[in-house]
Structure 1
């Protein structure tokens, strides 16, 4: 059988990690039997055994070779060697993958909406305010056993598939005693000092929430007076004004922003676990691990308007403090080698606290007057993911009533997760600075929104369950595997946002000197309070339900040829309803009810369809000098549905780049046909080479385009194109070099095209897809010393420019420019248990840059953001 032939040859573990660019320069082969899942190093001439990279890599090698569909893998050894602290950072090493905003993955040039993310095969919720796709910076790499990136679709995957599917596979229970601790520190060259503020405060004051209900969202002085008098309280106008002032004073205004020195990075990780042999057949295991890290980063920006960049621009001083805490508890049991149960619980908390001061000029306030507008902003975002999963793997084995069913296996899972995000008090104060005076004179704007206090809350719940049965059948010495399963998820999402506006007359000073208790209490000063964001409805509720069953046949026709076919029936239901929290008249709700009764309503929809796949694999020996090779071809039909937030008729601010985004309830799903051809070649000594061709045909692709906004304010929205296509080629490989060095990496060359004729505002009706890069390069030069005391990797990652959003009204498309990241990692192992790691990232000091050509042909750098070079040092001890 083909499986046994590969097992006997024991392909080097380079196969599994070549795509990551992280592999030892020397590899041990094994004299293990076919049934062994471990490599046992033996003495071979001119071969150095490097055990640190072999435990997970061996199983990943087998999985990649045996999977009928194209996939890439990363094990925890490769992630650890690169020093990547989050899953997002680790995945950018994979062929054809680019990392956007340090949290979202683009696969083969398709944006995050075209990627499906699961954890141990289960759907998970997202705490991200701007997307229902889970941000991959949330997951620390310390909980990962391996990462699977499947690029050709199979029926066991959700039908929502475009660029690829990412499965985060968490660590299982240990097979023996485990004890490890790691401590680290670091710094960033752009973050020596930055902005801090006094306090983020708690949640919305109870007095304010009570007043919103009592006065039905209208906090004006006249309405307060009317409500109280109608209630028989008989208050005066001054007393009504005093109620207003008390509400303003209840807001946390202790947010004075100041320049301060920033603390260095800090992190600590602890891992404990063990396994116990209860009997000859029963083994129990448990582990508990925790991690904590914190860092300050300056993310200063320069923004320029597309229409008049020399007159309308702003400088943003911005500092973000991030704190992450992770707790993981895993319990497991194994009986008779054929039955395993595992219960896992994860609690991940990630807080981002931001202070920002923006000074700028506009067409209404030209730079020549030297009196820039200024915004003082503070924002605390508290994200949390709580995930509990129960899973089992079973094989009938000796319990089978008939011999033919002994190899029948069943894998199943149940997952329950909740993601929450709270913004307890985000403040924005608007004003200006008169630089013609000495010293400069600060002002607070004479405006009804001079001070804004935002309170946001998100709760995203996902319950997911499924299972898969598989039975291999021998047909005259040839193996036919019959498989089938089910997969379900139920998701509910609630997003609520309130914004309280405090107005005042033109006042000299800064927020901390103008919005004081004394000034607010003085009725001679003008202060007012109102509710509403000023740019549209913010809140919504949504629900999503997916039910699926699938089946497949995998037939090894000969030792060389393998045919795999499968189909998946999937029913999809979704509803997204905007919510007006200030609608106490019922008008908004009645309008919504009327719209829902319209047969053409866009708030809710349901569809079901059958999605199919076909794969053909040929395996052989000796082609182009390879010791062994495989060629795979696959074709499949899938769908990509709009994100919940993209469908909601609401407006929001993208927190990463501070741009305004509007949803579009009229968005349609994208139908995709996927073609994939991959050749894998393996050579003696661990060298390998893989080449892949891919083509995707898209019907109604979803695109992000420039929306209607002011000349100095970027506004984005979503539309459907008519058609699109993506095609390209991927190369990856590993080459061992003399003296312990090795060279590995991957290159993706691709192109795309979208046609949009249904929207006459779009400037370029035929262009590349939003987010698509024509090339992606990952390269690594590594070294392992013969005595195993030292290892080093020089890593380079870059992707070509990609469209950030499509231009409209004569303006060209906006492009994010290439970001070349050069990292250096050095590991020193003074003893078997102790290790020291030094990591330097972004050695080229690259920054994020976005450019757009306006209607007059001028190329404008509309956004620049600092990144800086980071240095990290960590010390680890492992039993």
Structure 2
């Protein structure tokens, strides 16, 4: 779809720059063939799966007790029986965790930038165009064995750690025959009727346009076509040059006849098959295959208002998104004498979103009787393909001396590719005459009356490493010595083209104005140009990380335990903007030349040692608890800006339809973490946990408002001087009479950031962007004595948080609290059959953003409908 010849050249440059030759190109060339990416090798802990929700809620406490660092867990059965279809939805119930837009996780009030997500310890590339972490709605809950959320850092984790680290641990091979099928349907109260457009309304960039970009050097104007053709010896007239351009316009897919109508119900189906075979007394083989498909229509209507003049400058957008998800998972495994296991896992996850919008907007340049009217369609195709090979080994009988019998070794290899394609995002600008009956639509007189965007992202990650662990007995006290290494490399290509159709003001809609007949008539004015008007749309980048680490875990006595460790990590990165329309080579060569400047900001190389220390005290009979632990930990970590945030390009955040600019001058945030946690466990599975935490941030990265038009929100990134986050967490599980139990957690915290290096920011001392002062997650559950019925009521809410920092006298913009209540009921008529009913967002909350302008008026600058969703599914399990 896109011109790759130049891209490959730029990519090899980026890979080279991101290695030891950051400033020395000659040295860099030796590296251009090497690949890899971030992975923290962590042994898979065993997860005990039991039937009842109450037992499941308590089943992972043993694992939490054994870890030297504070962590929270969710098991597969708890996720499944609570009705969570995606990992993002499941994580809402973890202490101090909030879910934004059903995709992105905030931990301890810190935005998604401060969390990192791994799959079985491996870093995974993100197919999301507008976020620094992988969207967690991409992963279906059906492939998950357990979720681990670690909130205090240890050296086995990547040094890029702020709020916490999430590890998605996928299901391993079964230990016996399994077979299950689930089918379901549902609907949303806000999505009975909506917008659709014809199938195939979006298509890849036409071959004719691809060829023309190269032939006419990115300039598709009629005069340049005339000059190029005649200079090449092809005699053409002005009209013939015009007709060549018209042919390029008609090659674009303009079939975007958006219409209103009824929407289909939700659908989903899941299939899971597997078995294990005893080949001999010592060898067991296992395999499983699972697949899932679901689709849904959702209306996400929005109202926007300008903070400066909300009564005059505002817009209403009708918006319908059709989302389709497909998952395929294949797992093969072998075990020898329970001391050696090898597993191969392969996952293909696809997520497509097809969206139609009609926006009516009012500005200071139009009247209430003639508002602007914009039409747009957008197809986004995301895919993650992940292959992992891993093994765990214990020397056992192979040990040359008895002291090494318990020596264990884990290793891994992971290869992942995430792609996002927007084969055609079409938009048309016009106006609406409300004085006529019926109302009359017009296409605007503009050089960008029609726009067609073609975007492509490919993110590849390759990583490998290993970890060894040896328990040593010292006079009856246990010392565990462990250490490991990993290497990783990430390569990203992000390419974008924008084709613009210029037109004169014409009565009609896109499907009546931009017809082949009208375009081919030279008496009608149409023009074609390339470029978004917002600067570069493309970049290439590379990132290399190499690390070694080690730790000592010493049980001084039955009660006391000390854990200390360190990680050396070398980090190399380059992000190079690319102008795909620069056929003179001036821009791209200028970027390369700037790399020799000592003050260049395209590439960096750094290495450092990150350390941690944890002290644990375990005992009995404190506060009537059967067992309790008190942990203290301190660590030093770093939060690096994402490649997307460093790229000197502009892009659209499709969810909120705001434009975002990267900043190549961003610097990494240094973080010092302190954590004090007490855990109390009672008879029957009841437990209570209280935690104190404090984080000291140097150069925190913030998202602030940028200069834009009255009706267009623009965001950018900058570093603050310093910041801090501190708070208190409570978590507990309590058994109640009549089969009821209550599981809940509350986080109360505060934060502060100081910014003195930017004169435009209104509030130089305030809370961190994305921070919530409180987070509440509560679940009231019921298990019937005969185990045929279970039910849960889930409630989640967090306080308002800063969406972006205001400038020029405008206050900060706050996302308002979103109170979510879900109800789930499960019925098990037999041991193999089950029926599940789920109601989501029972309170019918919606997303709202408020900002106070320089005049002191508080304005709801954005509100978006969500609706209440109902789902019904039927399952059979062998």
> TM-score of the superposition, structure 2-length normalised?
0.94
Query: Cα offset for 1:365?
Result: 1.6
1:420 matched residue in structure 2:
419
The SS at the match of 2:843 is coil
- The 2-side partners of 1:274 and 1:60 are apart by 25
1:541 matched residue in structure 2:
540
Unaligned runs of 5+ in 1: 1-35, 41-49
2:14 matched residue in structure 1:
none
Query: Cα offset for 1:683?
Result: 1.1
Query: Cα offset for 1:55?
Result: 9.3
Q: Deviations over 1:796-851 (max 9, x none)?
A: 00000000000000000000000000110000000000000000010100000000
* 1:56-75 correspondence to structure 2 within 5 Å: 60-75=60-75
- The 2-side partners of 1:595 and 1:617 are apart by 51
- The 1-side partners of 2:867 and 2:46 are apart by 43
Query: Cα offset for 1:60?
Result: 2.8
Query: Cα offset for 1:535?
Result: 1.3
- The 1-side partners of 2:631 and 2:112 are apart by 26
1:845–1:867: 8 Å Cα contact kept in structure 2?
Answer: yes
- The 2-side partners of 1:151 and 1:628 are apart by 22
- The 2-side partners of 1:55 and 1:549 are apart by 39
2:274 matched residue in structure 1:
273
1:695 matched residue in structure 2:
694
Query: Cα offset for 1:591?
Result: 1.7
2:39 matched residue in structure 1:
none
- The 2-side partners of 1:536 and 1:261 are apart by 40
1:124–1:462: 8 Å Cα contact kept in structure 2?
Answer: yes
Question: How many residue pairs were aligned?
Answer: 833
2:102 matched residue in structure 1:
102
1:347 matched residue in structure 2:
348
2:201–2:254: 8 Å Cα contact kept in structure 1?
Answer: no
2:52–2:783: 8 Å Cα contact kept in structure 1?
Answer: no
1:262 matched residue in structure 2:
263
1:37–1:59: 8 Å Cα contact kept in structure 2?
Answer: no
- The 2-side partners of 1:655 and 1:39 are apart by 40
1:320 matched residue in structure 2:
321
2:53–2:783: 8 Å Cα contact kept in structure 1?
Answer: no
Q: Deviations over 1:50-83 (max 9, x none)?
A: 7345997777332211000000001111111221
2:77 matched residue in structure 1:
77
Query: Cα offset for 1:37?
Result: 7.6
2:859 matched residue in structure 1:
860
1:23 matched residue in structure 2:
none
Query: Cα offset for 1:594?
Result: 2.5
- The 1-side partners of 2:440 and 2:466 are apart by 67
1:254–1:512: 8 Å Cα contact kept in structure 2?
Answer: yes
The SS at the match of 2:550 is strand
Q: Deviations over 1:534-554 (max 9, x none)?
A: 111110001011100000000
The SS at the match of 1:180 is strand
Q: Does structure 1 residue 822 correspond to structure 2 residue 821?
A: yes
- The 1-side partners of 2:492 and 2:805 are apart by 29
1:211 matched residue in structure 2:
212
2:680–2:689: 8 Å Cα contact kept in structure 1?
Answer: yes
- The 2-side partners of 1:770 and 1:53 are apart by 36
1:876 matched residue in structure 2:
875
- The 2-side partners of 1:590 and 1:219 are apart by 23
2:800 matched residue in structure 1:
801
Query: Cα offset for 1:131?
Result: 2.7
- The 2-side partners of 1:768 and 1:39 are apart by 41
Query: Cα offset for 1:488?
Result: 1.8
Q: Deviations over 1:751-784 (max 9, x none)?
A: 0000001101000000000000000001111111
- The 2-side partners of 1:56 and 1:628 are apart by 19
2:151 matched residue in structure 1:
151
- The 2-side partners of 1:648 and 1:253 are apart by 31
- The 1-side partners of 2:742 and 2:51 are apart by 19
1:337 matched residue in structure 2:
338
1:742 matched residue in structure 2:
741
* 1:335-414 correspondence to structure 2 within 5 Å: 335-367=336-368, 370-414=369-413
- The 2-side partners of 1:371 and 1:461 are apart by 48
* 1:333-732 correspondence to structure 2 within 5 Å: 333-367=334-368, 370-732=369-731
1:169 matched residue in structure 2:
169
- The 2-side partners of 1:103 and 1:510 are apart by 35
- The 1-side partners of 2:87 and 2:464 are apart by 23
Query: Cα offset for 1:644?
Result: 0.6
- The 2-side partners of 1:126 and 1:735 are apart by 38
- The 1-side partners of 2:745 and 2:55 are apart by 24
The SS at the match of 1:851 is strand
Query: Cα offset for 1:201?
Result: 3.2
- The 1-side partners of 2:496 and 2:47 are apart by 53
Query: Cα offset for 1:686?
Result: 1.8
1:26 matched residue in structure 2:
none
Q: Deviations over 1:441-494 (max 9, x none)?
A: 110001110000110001000001121100000000000000000122100000
Query: Cα offset for 1:366?
Result: 3.7
The SS at the match of 1:51 is coil
- The 1-side partners of 2:351 and 2:666 are apart by 32
Query: Cα offset for 1:315?
Result: 0.2
1:701–1:723: 8 Å Cα contact kept in structure 2?
Answer: yes
The SS at the match of 2:599 is coil
The SS at the match of 2:136 is coil
1:538–1:652: 8 Å Cα contact kept in structure 2?
Answer: yes
Q: Does structure 1 residue 87 correspond to structure 2 residue 94?
A: no
1:833 matched residue in structure 2:
832
- The 1-side partners of 2:599 and 2:387 are apart by 39
The SS at the match of 2:688 is strand
1:98–1:776: 8 Å Cα contact kept in structure 2?
Answer: yes
Query: Cα offset for 1:132?
Result: 3.8
The SS at the match of 2:691 is strand
The SS at the match of 2:245 is helix
Q: Deviations over 1:487-523 (max 9, x none)?
A: 2210000000000000111100000000001101111
Q: Deviations over 1:573-592 (max 9, x none)?
A: 01000000000111101221
Unaligned runs of 5+ in 2: 1-44
1:306–1:712: 8 Å Cα contact kept in structure 2?
Answer: no
With over 3 angstroms needed to count, the CA separation of the structure-2 counterparts of 1:532 and 1:455, relative to structure 1, is same
Q: Deviations over 1:637-672 (max 9, x none)?
A: 000000111100000000110000000000000000
> TM-score of the superposition, structure 1-length normalised?
0.94
Q: What's the C-alpha RMSD, in Å, of the aligned pairs?
A: 1.3
The SS at the match of 1:389 is strand
Q: Deviations over 1:700-752 (max 9, x none)?
A: 00000000111221100000000000000000001111110111100000000
1:38–1:55: 8 Å Cα contact kept in structure 2?
Answer: no
The SS at the match of 2:256 is coil
- The 2-side partners of 1:542 and 1:140 are apart by 29
